[in-house]
Chains A and B, each alone.
Chain A
Amino acid sequence: MSVPAAEVRARPALSGGWSVGLRRLLGPDYRMGYLFVTPIALLVLSLVAYPFCYAIYLSMTYKLVGVPPVFVGFENYVRLTWDGFFQRAVINSFVFTFGSVGFKLVLGVVMALVLTSPIRWRSFWTGVLLIPWVAPTVVSALNFLWIFDGSLGVLNYLLVRVFHVLPQGVGWLSEPRTAMASVVAVNIWRGFPFFGISFLAGMKAIPAELYEAAAVDGASMLQRFRHVTLPGIRNIMIIVVLLSTIWTFNDFQIVYILTKGGPGGMTMVMPVLTYETAFGAQRLGEAIAVALYLLPALAVTIMVLARYMRKGRQR
């Protein structure tokens, strides 16, 4: 970028020898730029980059709480690979993540579609539907823990006594058949509004002429959705699905509060296993190996996602 003439004129004092060279090398706004960016750089280094590298090191050690770490290379990873409980946790994490994200995607599209249709009080409805996204997740998880309660929970009350759908109550979170579906349902409940609001923004940005042109060509509502709406929000969809995949895969609170991974490991996902290994079993090295086990996949996802997010901005 060339230096705007106005700027040079505004600060004639700076156009002496040294600073001209520096400005050419580091860019016209380098002083204010570095000044403003330094706090972020320090935070990123000390709160993310350093802990991240430290995590990789610790995952290659045998480390009990209170004892200095002993370097063991990839031993933790190798041991985990053949550990049946860990394997189950990996599978559970994938089931939890893709089950949740799939439903959130569908519900999000539905939410965006109804919010773009000609309704009254649009911002009221938008506001109501966004509440699960702003409410504290712990509160929501506790609410569902109470709703799902086997003996006094309102879900059983509704299904058994009010609607007579079930002959007797179900221990939603304590029975192996229903536990995973229940925690997935709570994750969907909490996460779908984010999908909806993002798709809504994308749909609003689609020019009305495209829909009019499609209508003139005789396209049905379904065809317009298929050929105008979906391509129009394609990029947002990719971004939101990838973001939510990362968030859901690493979601700790919902599962920790609802089941702690039970019954019998049926809902044990990797973040909860990390926590339990670190603070239950006190094996820190192994715990971090659990957290970092799928790092290559996470890194690829983050890189792809970051590209899409930056591309989305540059337009």
Chain B
Amino acid sequence: MRGRAAGVVERTVAYAVLTTLAILVLFPFYWMTVTSFKSEEQMRSLVSMFWPKPFATENYGQLLTKTEFTSWYGNSVFVAVSSTLLATAVGTLGAYALARLKFLGRGFMASATLITYLVPPSILFIPLYKQMQALGMANSLSGLIAAYPSFTVPFVTWLLMGYFESIPEELEEAAMIDGATRFGAFYRIVLPLSAPGVLAAGLYAFTQAWNEFLYALVFITDGRLRTLPVGLASFITGDVYGWGYLMSGAVLTTLPVIAAYIYLQKYMVDGLTAGGVKG
């Protein structure tokens, strides 16, 4: 049977391609983890390359006790969580208004939000920095919390607009016939139905804030106030890179994002495909 043979070939090719891509994608993370468990000695003599023998945990010890890593971790959690809550709240309300409510200027606001999402940080970081300086918020975490909505809010709004538009309008109309107010219909009907979308949007906002680098690099000058990405990168400015503890820091920075992602993968993939781009 020609059809079945073609199917087998197709599947074999697909698995070969998938395996190749998966190796390319995972290798850097595997390598980061392996490195983090190697001693300086093992690294320099190129022994036990692909599996540390013995497992050294000294890098993690050094990282947690001799560097400011734990303060950075706290800073990152604080900044990412606050700006996520802010972005999700503001974005959810705005997205609902732009997707559903009828008022003058809606189309304009929707376009403005989308264009805002597309304006790159590389042209905004200097004026924003001056602005934060003028407000006395440069070199403080509140400056970052104030600045991050510039990219998280438009993104959350755009993502959730698509989500709200996919919820049948009849549900709200039915609720309002039964005496609910416009707000009641939103709060009791639409919001619970869109919980997965709001969750996905919030997670993306969290990831974006957690990963943000440029603003944190520019705004923060005090070493203790750094966020994780900038803190990690600051390890490479010295002449001797401590690859072991740098990689152990990288592992600990990646963990929360990957953990959230594995746990909520379905929501995040669906959210991205439903709201990110749709054609």
Q: How far is the CB of B85 from chain A (nearest CB, A)?
A: 13
Chain A residues near B128 (CB-CB < 8 A) = 47, 51
Segment from B51-59, B60-68, B189-197, B259-267 that makes contact with A: B259-267
Partner of A40, one of B157, B218, B268: B157
A123 to B114, CA, bound (A): 30
A157 touches B257 (CB 8 A): no
Chain B residues near A309 (CB-CB < 8 A) = 114, 277
A279 to B221, CA, bound (A): 12
A54 touches B98 (CB 8 A): no
Count of interface residues, chain A, beta-carbon cutoff 8 Å: 109
A285 to B213, CA, bound (A): 22
B24 touches A37 (CB 8 A): no
Known: A52-B127, A136-B229. A117 touches B273 (CB 8 A): no
A131 touches B258 (CB 8 A): yes
Chain B residues near A117 (CB-CB < 8 A) = 10-11, 14
**Which residues does A use to contact B, with CB under 8 Å?**
1, 4, 6-7, 9-11, 25-30, 32-34, 36-37, 39-41, 43-44, 47-48, 50-52, 54-55, 58, 107, 110-111, 113-115, 117-119, 123, 125-132, 134-140, 142-147, 152, 154, 157, 189, 193, 197-198, 200-202, 205, 221, 233-236, 239-240, 243, 246-247, 249-250, 252-253, 257, 270-271, 274-275, 278-279, 284, 287-288, 291-292, 295, 298, 302, 305-306, 309-310, 312-313, 315
Count of interface residues, chain B, beta-carbon cutoff 8 Å: 108
Known: A132-B25, A134-B257. A40 touches B180 (CB 8 A): no
Interface of A is mostly: helix
**Which residues does B use to contact A, with CB under 8 Å?**
6-7, 10-11, 13-15, 17-18, 21-22, 24-26, 28-29, 31-32, 35, 43-44, 46, 49, 90-91, 93-94, 96-98, 100-104, 106, 109-116, 118-128, 130-131, 146-147, 149-150, 153-154, 157, 161-162, 165, 173, 176-177, 179-183, 186, 207, 210-211, 213-214, 218, 228-230, 232-233, 236, 243, 246-247, 250, 253-254, 257-258, 261-262, 265-266, 268-269, 272-273, 276-279
Partner of A47, one of B18, B147, B181, B228: B147
A33 touches B28 (CB 8 A): no
